Structure formats: structure tokens, C-alpha cells
């Protein structure tokens, strides 16, 4: 019997997993590769970082998800090279050949060359980073509660978030509610309501650009205690401060950078021309112009539609993953390929309890109704019935009792990077 064409899919995120599912029961052998053994539902990651959800609630083992797909094998390992000229990729250094390739490795944080940002800021792009952020917030407030020097305490209790897109807005709202509600009750001697500050910095004049059109988001965040600073550019970040392009620096021990994305660094090994943000400019069929058997999807593409670049979202990744899979079958069957066209099912973001902004089918919703839509859609798309039940239970508990159920600093080994940061900050505070 003739060997089936071998399709290698790099990344089991939204793009890779949806491509793999589309190829189920087709006459191809698929190898799906991911450095983690799980798929992450990134839209709820900020809730892990805000002690609302356990990390397990937003992840599912890849092998469980592909259990019924006989033509698919999974390999857990880091993609270390992509060599389309030789039709190979490497996993942990070991070369693996392919007939067709889908690159769906997603993105990492872009710091736009701002000095000190990469070194001193937290980022929120993976479950590890979500746990690290949560642990840091809880540990910092614990340490601040024992700090005798009011100036140092103020610095410890200032939390800066850079970037007014969905991640920055959603995290700012969730963090303010964590600090001013359950943690305020946990630390009755500190008066967190008065001393702790959550500051959201955005270089543009609008929060949630592309979703919100007016001031709703900014007003709503201000109402729950977030200090919103629009038209504010970060010039540099140091261990104990954020220097702004104009005005006084913000003294803060904690800065989360949520301001941009760029392609995973390993894609540079493909030897094709990339954008400044390490994304691929693919053909409309999602193929690489140089290597037609290589398809690229999700956050790794800069795709123009109706004269505008698409915003990289989970929907874009899922839809492009499916089109790439269909186009591989078309190539195999020598049929015409389909052009990718993104169908916008809607964009939304939540702003703390009872409030969200949503654009669906050309209609704009804000407030409680938008929040209900947000809850429903996120539950619907979350993979796994058990996860849905768990998330719903946590949400109900948090909502009814103004609590956060995951206020544990664990696992302890995440404290390694933490203690390095603490030492760094301590030495930055020493007078010269």
C-alpha cells in the first residue's frame, strides 16, 4: 500500500489544533508537535493571573483531545528549527521530514525596543506566566503588609499594566477587583483600598481599540479603582520604576507588559522574509510564496483583508488553521486551493464584574448584557465539559461572595525567578 502523505503541524494552539481536527479521517498521516502536552485556552489566562481560576481549568491534554483521531500522532517537544528548503523541521534538535507543513507556533510578547521592558516586566502569554504573575501579586502584597517604610510600601503596592488592548484591560479590571475586594478583607491592617494602585498605561487615545468606540471602558475601569492613563508613552522600565516619555516616573515594583505580539523566534530559521514583528506575509491561500507546501496560520501571519491587517485573534487562528488543512487536501488531490477570508464572528472583552464590551454582527453592546454574552461565549468555546463546570463554579462563587478561590502561592519553585527579582529590586532601592 502506498504511503500516505505526511503532514506535520507545529503548535497545538488554536490554529494547529483546528487544522489537525479538520484533517481527521482524511488519507494523511499527521504529526502534531507542541512543547507542552496541553492546549491552552488563552482568553481566560488573565483569570489565572488574577487568582480567579486554577490553571488546569483553562488547559486540556493534547493526547486526550486527539484520542479518537487514528491518523494523528503527537510529539511533545520544542521545535528548534524549520528548514523548508529541505522539507524538514527539528524537534529538540532531531530532524523530522514532511510532505506538507502547517506552522502554528503562535506569538510571544513584543517590547518594541523599549529599554528595560523585557528585563523588568512580567508578560502574560502562557500558563507558566499566568501562575508566575499570580504568585508575584500575592507574595508582593504579603511582603508589603510587613513593610514599615511607607514609601517602599507604596512602591510595592503599585501595579502598572502597559497596553490598553484586551489583555491589559481585562487584567486591570480583574486585578483591581482582586485587590480591592477579597485581598482588602484578608489584610484589614493595611488598607489596600487607600494604598494600592492599579495603573493602566496606553500610548493611544482609546482603550480596546477596534472593540470599544467611546469612553465606556475607561470610565468603567476608573469606577472600579483603576488609574487609566491614555496618550501616555513608556520611555523605559527600571527595576523599581516606569519612566514615561513625559512627566514624573511611576515608582512601581510590578509592571505587566501587555502591549504587543511578535512571532515565535524559531520561525526565523525558516529562511524566508518575515515582517518586523517576525510574522509571515503568506499568499491568500496561506502558503509561503517560496515554499508552497508550507502553510502558516494564526498569530504568525500578517494577513491583509480589505486593505487592513487582520487583528490576530483565536478566531483568526481557528479559521486559518481549517483553511490551511483543506488546502493541503486540495494540493494532494490536485484541486484548486481556497483563498482565506476571515469571517468576523465578533470581538469582546470584559471589564470586571457585570461589564463588558462586545461587537457582534455589526452591533455594539456594553454593560451587563455584553458581560452575559462574554460569559456564555467563553464557556461555550472552553474545551472540556469538566472545565466548563469548574469554571462556572468558580465564577459563581467569586460573583456571589466577592471572593477569589485560588489565592495560594504555589508551586513553590516558581519562587526562584521571584526571589531573583526581589534581590534585584532590593539592590535597586539601596542608596548609591
Cite the active site residues: 170
Residue 34 near ligand FAD by CB under 6 A: yes
In the bound state, the residue with its beta carbon closest to ligand FAD is: 13
Q: Distance between CA atoms of 285 and 31, rounded to whole angstroms?
A: 22
One of 7, 42, 178, 270 touching ligand FAD (CB under 6 A): 42
**First and final CA of the chain: distance in angstroms?**
75
Contacts of 388 (CB under 8 A, 6+ apart): 379, 382
Minimum distance from residue 320 beta carbon to ligand FAD (Å)? 8
Minimum distance from residue 55 beta carbon to ligand FAD (Å)? 13
144 or 160: whose CB is closer to ligand FAD?
A: 160
Give DSSP secondary structure letters for 391-409. HHHHHHHHHHHT--S----
Residue 125 near ligand FAD by CB under 6 A: yes
Minimum distance from residue 226 beta carbon to ligand FAD (Å)? 17
Residue 36 near ligand FAD by CB under 6 A: yes
Other beta carbons within 10 angstroms of residue 246's beta carbon come to: 8
Residue 173 near ligand FAD by CB under 6 A: no
195 or 360: whose CB is closer to ligand FAD?
A: 360
Minimum distance from residue 27 beta carbon to ligand FAD (Å)? 25
Burial label, 277 (beta-carbon count in 10 A; 0-12, 13-18, 19+): middle
Residue 16 near ligand FAD by CB under 6 A: yes
Residue 164 near ligand FAD by CB under 6 A: no
Residue 55 near ligand FAD by CB under 6 A: no
SS3 246: coil
22 or 35: whose CB is closer to ligand FAD?
A: 35
Other beta carbons within 10 angstroms of residue 271's beta carbon come to: 12
One of 166, 218, 224, 382 touching ligand FAD (CB under 6 A): 166
Give DSSP secondary structure letters for 160-229. EEE--SHHHHHHHHHHHHHIIIIIHHH-TTT-HHHH-EEEEE-SSS-SSBTTB-SSHHHHHHHHTTEEEE
153 or 320: whose CB is closer to ligand FAD?
A: 320
241-244/234-238 β-pairing: antiparallel
Q: Distance between CA atoms of 300 and 426, rounded to whole angstroms?
A: 38
Kindly determine how many residues on this chain lie close enough to bind ligand FAD according to the rule CB under 6 A. Answer: 33
Is-contact 114 234, C-beta < 8 A? yes
Q: Which of residues 305-364 bind ligand FAD (CB under 6 A)?
A: 312-315, 317
Q: Which three cell numbers stand for residue 77?
A: 517537544
Q: Which three cell numbers stand for residue 194?
A: 487607600
Stretch that binds ligand FAD, among 38-46, 187-195, 401-409, 422-430 (CB under 6 A): 38-46
Q: Distance between CA atoms of 36 and 302, rounded to whole angstroms?
A: 25
Minimum distance from residue 319 beta carbon to ligand FAD (Å)? 11
Q: Which of residues 246-285 bind ligand FAD (CB under 6 A)?
A: 264, 266
Residue 102 near ligand FAD by CB under 6 A: no
Stretch that binds ligand FAD, among 190-198, 242-250, 281-289, 296-304 (CB under 6 A): 296-304
Q: Which three cell numbers stand for residue 63?
A: 493526547
Q: Distance between CA atoms of 213 and 383, rounded to whole angstroms?
A: 31
Stretch that binds ligand FAD, among 293-301, 356-364, 398-406, 421-429 (CB under 6 A): 293-301
Where does this chain bind ligand FAD (CB under 6 A)? 11-16, 33-36, 42-43, 45-46, 78-79, 104-106, 124-125, 166-167, 264, 266, 298-300, 312-315, 317
Amino acid at each position: 500500500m502506498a504511503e500516505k502523505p505526511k503532514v506535520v503541524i507545529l503548535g497545538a494552539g488554536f490554529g494547529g489544533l483546528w487544522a489537525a481536527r479538520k484533517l481527521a479521517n482524511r488519507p494523511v498521516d499527521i504529526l502534531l508537535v507542541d512543547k507542552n502536552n496541553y492546549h491552552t485556552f488563552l482568553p481566560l489566562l488573565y483569570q489565572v493571573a488574577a487568582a480567579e481560576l486554577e490553571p488546569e481549568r483553562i488547559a486540556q491534554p493534547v493526547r486526550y483531545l486527539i484520542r479518537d483521531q487514528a491518523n494523528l500522532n503527537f510529539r511533545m517537544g520544542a521545535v528548534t528549527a524549520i528548514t523548508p528548503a529541505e522539507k524538514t523541521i527539528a524537534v529538540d534538535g532531531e530532524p523530522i521530514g514532511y510532505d506538507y507543513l502547517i506552522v502554528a507556533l503562535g506569538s510571544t510578547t513584543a517590547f518594541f525596543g523599549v529599554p528595560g521592558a523585557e528585563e523588568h516586566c512580567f508578560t502574560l502569554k502562557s500558563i507558566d506566566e499566568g501562575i508566575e504573575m499570580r504568585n508575584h501579586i500575592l507574595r508582593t502584597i504579603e511582603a508589603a503588609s510587613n513593610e514599615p517604610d511607607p514609601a517602599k510600601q507604596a512602591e510595592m503596592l503599585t501595579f502598572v499594566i502597559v497596553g490598553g488592548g484586551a489583555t491589559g484591560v481585562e487584567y486591570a479590571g480583574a486585578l483591581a477587583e482582586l485587590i480591592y475586594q477579597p485581598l482588602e478583607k484578608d489584610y484589614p491592617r493595611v488598607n489596600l483600598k487607600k494604598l494600592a494602585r492599579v495603573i493602566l498605561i496606553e500610548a493611544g487615545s482609546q482603550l480596546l481599540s477596534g472593540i470599544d468606540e467611546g469612553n465606556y471602558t475607561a470610565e468603567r475601569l476608573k469606577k472600579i479603582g483603576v488609574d487609566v492613563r491614555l496618550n501616555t508613552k513608556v520611555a523605559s522600565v527600571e527595576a523599581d520604576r516606569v519612566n514615561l516619555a513625559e512627566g514624573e516616573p511611576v515608582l512601581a515594583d510590578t509592571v505587566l507588559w501587555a502591549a504587543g505580539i511578535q512571532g515565535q523566534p524559531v520561525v526565523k530559521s525558516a529562511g524566508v522574509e518575515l515582517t518586523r514583528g517576525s510574522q509571515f506575509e503568506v499568499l491568500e491561500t496561506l502558503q509561503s510564496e517560496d515554499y508552497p507546501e508550507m502553510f502558516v496560520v494564526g498569530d504568525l501571519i500578517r494577513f491583509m483583508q480589505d486593505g487592513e491587517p487582520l487583528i490576530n485573534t483565536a478566531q483568526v487562528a481557528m479559521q486559518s488553521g481549517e483553511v490551511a488543512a483543506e488546502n493541503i487536501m486540495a494540493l494532494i488531490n490536485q484541486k484548486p486551493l481556497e483563498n482565506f477570508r476571515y469571517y468576523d464572528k465578533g470581538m469582546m472583552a470584559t471589564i470586571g464584574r457585570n461589564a463588558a464590551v462586545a461587537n457582534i454582527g455589526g452591533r455594539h453592546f456594553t454593560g451587563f448584557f455584553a458581560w452575559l454574552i462574554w460569559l456564555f461565549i467563553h464557556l461555550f468555546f472552553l474545551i472540556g465539559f469538566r472545565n466548563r463546570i469548574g469554571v462556572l463554579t468558580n465564577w459563581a462563587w467569586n460573583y456571589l461572595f466577592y471572593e477569589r478561590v485560588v489565592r495560594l502561592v504555589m508551586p513553590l519553585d516558581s519562587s526562584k525567578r521571584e526571589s531573583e527579582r526581589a534581590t534585584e529590586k532590593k539592590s535597586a532601592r539601596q542608596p548609591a
